[in-house]
Amino acid sequence: MSVKAFELVPAVERDLLMGDKARINIECIECCGKHLYVGTNDCFIHHFLLDEATSSKGKLIYSSQKLLHKYLGLKKPVTELRAASALERLIVLCDGIVFLVDMVTLETVPSAAGGGAKIRGVTAFCINENPVNGDPFCVEMAVLSSKRRTVQIYMVYEDRVQLAKEVSTPEQPCAVSVDGYFLCLALATQYMILNYNTGASQDLFPYNSEERRPIVKRISREEFLLAAPGGLGMFANAEGVSQRAPVNWSESVIGAAVCFPYVVALDESFITIHSMLDQQLKQTLSFRDGHILQDFEGKVILASTKAVYVLVPLPLERQIQDLLASHRVEEALILTEGAQRNIPKDKFQILHKRILQQAGFIQFGQLQFLEAKEHFRKGQLDVRELISLYPLLLPASSSFTRCHPPLHEFADLNHLAQGDQEKVLRCKKFLISYLGEVRSTEVVNGCREDVDTALLKLYAEQNHESLLDLLASENSCVLADSVPWLEKYHKYFALGLLYHSNGQDSAALQLWIRVVDGDLQDSTRSDLYEYIVDFLCTSSNLDLVWKYADWALLKDPTVGIHVFTRRPASKDQPELNPDDVITYLGKHSRALLLYLEHLVLERRIQKEKFHTHLAVLYLERVLSLLSELPANEEQLTKARERLQAMLRESDLYRVQFLLVKTENCEQLLLERATLHGKLEEHDKALHILVHQLRDFPSAEAFCIWASSCRDSAYRQRLFHLLLGVYLDGSVPGSAPSAAGSNGGEMEMAAVDLLNRHGEVFDAVRVLEMLPEGWSLQLLKPFLGRAVRASMHACRTSQIAVGLAHSENLQLLHDRLKERKKPILISEKKGCHLCHNTFSEPSVVCLPGGVPVHTHCVAQRARDSPTKRQLTNSSNHT
């Protein structure tokens, strides 16, 4: 639990004071700047000049030079010495008398004319370091006397002392300390605080001063340190409240002082040093014949009976480092933080950060990652300090060098783990999570590259799933450094991503292609081929697309063609010219077909070239299937369906061109019929369908298709045409009942056609066309419908006539009603034309029942001769 917080340095050696005179002892000391005064039991005062120097080893040493010694002439020990430097006086207590001595000459100051410079019967006195009166040439002093139960307050001047106040105490006081108006007193059985101005008192706690020497030590403004029962050092403020926890020194303490953050106490054989921050005993120094411990302006001076020493605090930083060196992180931090108010703010911050970082590394070394992380965070650690522990993680290009002096004792991770691979792994896991957390914060400003590269390496090495996330998002990984690592761990897909984010798409593609082709092993993506296609598809670099599409198409044309067909249409994406693509796809027939389908069927590009090309490709496919032996019926059917659909639905391809191509092929009659249909050569088409193919349903379907976007007259014409073809083909004169023969078949078809699509036909013309001998029975459905339709039309028109008539009547009725309304005129009403009032009952009414003078109307009629008179005269009043 120990810290080296102080060092005991000799200041005045024995021989300088008393030489070999054994009976002479030190009784009291006073230090004021460099001036050290020592009072002895043989009534001498010795005056030394104390010089501070630093030894070659960097240690503080003191050398003292004796200036003077003076016998006071009382033959009694000098009990107490206090300097009043502003007055150049020493206040001396000797033989129960307080008197003044010149600080330089040590001559006793004679009493001034007006008042004495001596106080008699004194047992103890103390100086008020926080005096209430503002006079700099006056020192305030509290005095205890042997006879009275009082405390006297004196003002000490250059040449006299003057009683200012006297307060009584409940018991005989035996020790006193003062701050402002507050006296802190040790009485016979207790301590108390006494306000000498108001007389108010506050008991602190019981203490038997006869049994054990009391201590009342002012440690700061209105705060005192007291010896308490049970070997405690208790703190109490002027209100009688303890604001700090006590320290446990020893039962027989002679003197105590505070040298922040430590309480230093002296007993007969030891100096004990406790921290006020955690109450713990931090250091013990053995000290024989200890007699005096006092602090003077922050300097702690001790004396044995024979010699004087200075207790030199080691620099705070050194103490903290010592604590850290023994891995006492908690204490080191307490000490650092406790020192906050004693160190300038900016200096403190630097120190605090550094200690936090060091603490973090100690905990890191003990694999206490949670705590370590917290300290790294609070200490704003440059993460590279941590990264640099891991061999090879920092990129070669990094400018980082570890801070000096080093923050930790580890050479690297291997040194730290001492070959324990489990430890190494845990440290790596920690770094992964730590870097992952900080990489998006400002902590990594200025070293983003180092952090990202390190993270990439760790991810690759640990086969970590976040590798791809890192590379797919914005990152600063250094390419040169990352390539070998990713290669080493076969992370080719990731490497490709890195190339990509570095603008080297070509390199990325080459690498991925090698993986797909099996030259390199990386199982990151089983669908890497599709990924590449996708990549090309979205790539804005057309050169790349042209370069690698070939490979993709060779691999699988159906997927590979996506390079061209799935390019997202956007403004910043350069367009591919379809003609170029078609040229490019020349040798990839399958892909070409897919591409054309994409253009024609999906994108519906209305360009003759593409349509013709696609139709030709369909045709060629059908032709090639036809030439196969044995024929693959299923494929053939499919291919023909496609061809037919194309021929039917597109209006752009060059019909003639295709017609020529199908000319010699007897198997493609249906297609030819369609082509003729496109050319509006319906008779040819129907001829093929009816006579060559004898496919009547198709013939019918043809009529419907060919007239699908036309008016009903067009359709009618087609159906009549078909009917004609049927009738021409039948053997004239024979009854249609004779099924089986060619002619009979046609007749049946004609009958079916009529019966099924009767509504399309012009029944009258049909009747004219039909051969005489046909039975009514056969045509009954057709005729029935025709008659019904004609009846229907007739009746519908009769209804329409009736309705129109009734509407007309209704209007007539309304008009009459309107006219019958009376039109009122009086002498007060004015004519709408001349605005004069009416004087006689006969007026003329304008349309809408507006009455006007007859002469006004006449006038108007005269003025506009072209206008026909619209008015009706009325005699109503």
Partner 1 sequence: MPDVSKMKKPDVKVVLLGDMNVGKTSLLHRYMDRKFKETISTIGGAFFLKQWGPYNISIWDTAGREQFHGLGSMYCRGAAAVILTYDVTNWQSLAELEERFLSLTDTALQDCIYALVGNKADLTDQQAQLAQDPDGQPQDQTESRDRTDTLLSACPTPPDSPASLSGVHKQVTREDAVALYGRILHYKGLDEKSSLPADKMCFETSAKTGFNVDAMFETLFDLVLPSILRKRNENQRSPTVDLEEYREVGSKRSRSGCC
State yes or no: residue 241 binds partner 1 (CB under 8 A).
Answer: yes
- The answer for residues whose C-beta is within 8 angstroms of residue 445's C-beta and 6 or more apart is none
Span 522-541, contacts to partner 1 by CB under 8 A: none
Told to check if 245 binds partner 1 by CB under 8 A, we report yes
206 touching partner 1, by CB under 8 A: yes
Write down the least CB distance from residue 223 to partner 1, Å. 13
Using CB under 8 A as the binding rule, the residues of this chain from 262 to 301 that contact partner 1 are 277-279
Q: Is the dihedral of CA 761, 765, 767, 772 positive or negative?
A: negative
Tell me the angle at which helices 608-627 and 589-597 cross, rounded to the nearest 10 degrees.
130
Cβ 203 to partner 1 shortest distance, Å: 7
The yes or no reply on residue 228 touching partner 1 (CB under 8 A) is: yes
Reference 161, options 174, 173, 172, 152; nearest CA is: 152
Q: Does 112 interact with partner 1 (rule: CB under 8 A)?
A: no
For residue 247, state whether it binds partner 1 (rule: CB under 8 A): yes
CB of 222 to partner 1, least distance (A): 13
Q: Which amino acid is at 391?
A: P
Total of chain residues touching partner 1, rule CB under 8 A: 30
Decide whether 245 or 704 has the Cβ nearer to partner 1: 245
The Cα diameter of the chain in Å comes to 177
Helix (H) or strand (E) segment spanning residue 283: strand 281-286
Contact by Cβ (8 Å): 203, 240: yes
Residue 684 class from Cβ within 10 Å (0-12 exposed, 13-18 middle, 19+ buried)? middle
In angstroms, give the least distance from the CB of 228 to partner 1.
Answer: 6
For residues 279 and 466, which CB has a smaller minimum distance to partner 1 in the complex?
279
Q: Under the criterion CB under 8 A, does residue 333 sit at the interface with partner 1?
A: yes
The stretch near partner 1 (CB under 8 A) out of 327-335, 640-648, 696-704, 836-844 is: 327-335
Give the separation between CA 258 and CA 289, rounded to whole angstroms.
21
The CB-of-216 to partner 1 minimum distance in angstroms stands at 14
CB of 206 to partner 1, least distance (A): 4
User: Whose Cβ is closer to partner 1: residue 129's or residue 337's?
Assistant: 337
Question: Would you count residue 222 as binding partner 1 (CB under 8 A)?
Answer: no
Helices (H), 598-632: 608-627
Contact 389, 412 (CB under 8 A): yes
Q: Least distance (Å) from partner 1 to the CB of residue 337? A: 5
User: Strand order of the sheet with strand 308-313?
Assistant: 6-12, 308-313, 299-304, 290-296
Report the C-alpha gap between 214 and 526 in whole angstroms.
Answer: 86
Single out the residue of 229, 484, 574, 784 in contact with partner 1 (rule: CB under 8 A). Answer: 229
Interface with partner 1 (CB under 8 A), residue from 205, 296, 546, 714:
205
Closest CA to 308 of 104, 48, 12, 572: 12
Q: Which stretch binds partner 1 (CB under 8 A): 103-111, 201-209, 477-485, 839-847?
A: 201-209
Complex with partner 1: residue 204 or 438, whichever CB lies closer: 204
Phi first, then psi: give them for residue 687, nearest 5 degrees: -60, -45
- Least CB distance to partner 1 at residue 188 (A): 14
Among 203, 437, 814, 818, binds partner 1 (CB under 8 A): 203
Burial of 611 from C-beta contacts in 10 A (0-12 / 13-18 / 19+): buried
The yes or no reply on residue 330 touching partner 1 (CB under 8 A) is yes
Q: Pick from 5, 11, 98, 234 the residue near partner 1 by CB under 8 A.
A: 234
Give strand pairing partners of 300.
Answer: 295, 311
- The answer to whether residue 207 forms part of the interface with partner 1 (CB under 8 A) is yes
CA distances from 62 to 102, 315, 319, 373, 834 (A): 25, 17, 22, 45, 135
Instruction: Give me the residue label for tokens 């604001």.
Output: 243
Determine the straight-line distance between the first and last CA of the chain, rounded to whole angstroms: 131
Binding part of the chain for partner 1, among 15-23, 197-205, 381-389, 484-492 by CB under 8 A, reads 197-205
242 is a site residue for partner 1 (CB under 8 A): yes
Q: Say whether residue 256 binds partner 1 (CB under 8 A).
A: no
Q: Check residue 230 for interaction with partner 1 (CB under 8 A).
A: yes
Q: Please provide the DSSP assignment of 655-699 as one string.
A: HHHHHHHHTT-GGGHHHHHHHHHHTT-HHHHHHIIIIIS--HHHH
Nearer to partner 1 by Cβ, of 50 and 193: the residue is 193
238 contacts partner 1 (rule: CB under 8 A): no
- Cα angle 638, 644, 647; round to 5: 145
Contacting range for partner 1; rule: CB under 8 A; set: 97-105, 222-230, 630-638, 799-807: 222-230
Minimum gap (Å) between residue 231 Cβ and partner 1: 8
Query: Considering beta carbons, is residue 260 or 400 the nearer one to partner 1?
Result: 260
CA-CA distances (angstroms) from residue 251 to 2, 230, 267, 287, 288?
A: 21, 6, 8, 16, 17
* By CB under 8 A, residue 232 contacts partner 1: yes
Residues β-bridged to residue 9: 310
Which residue lies nearer to partner 1 by CB, 232 or 754?
Answer: 232
690 is a contact residue toward partner 1 (CB under 8 A): no
With respect to partner 1, which residue has the nearer C-beta, 178 or 228?
228
Binder to partner 1 among 90, 334, 495, 831 (CB under 8 A)?
Answer: 334
338 lies in the binding site for partner 1 (CB under 8 A): yes
CB nearer to partner 1: pick between 82 and 282: 282
CA separation for the pair 79, 508 (Å, rounded)? 92
Residue 359: CB minimum distance to partner 1, A: 13
CB 225 within 8 A of CB 235: yes
Q: Would you call 46 helix, strand, or coil by DSSP? A: strand
| Smallest distance from partner 1 to CB 246, Å | 4
Identify which of residues 241 and 325 has a Cβ nearer to partner 1 in the complex: 241
Taking CB under 8 A as the rule, does residue 248 contact partner 1?
A: yes
Residue 740 region by backbone torsions, left for phi larger than 0, else alpha for psi between -120 and 50, else beta: left
The answer to whether the CB of 702 falls within 8 A of the CB of 689 is yes
Residue 239 in the binding site for partner 1 (CB under 8 A): yes
Binding of residue 236 to partner 1 (CB under 8 A): yes
- Its sign, for the CA torsion 13, 19, 23, 25, is negative
Binding site for partner 1 (CB under 8 A): 203-207, 228-230, 232, 234, 236, 239-242, 244-248, 277-279, 330, 333-334, 337-338, 340-341
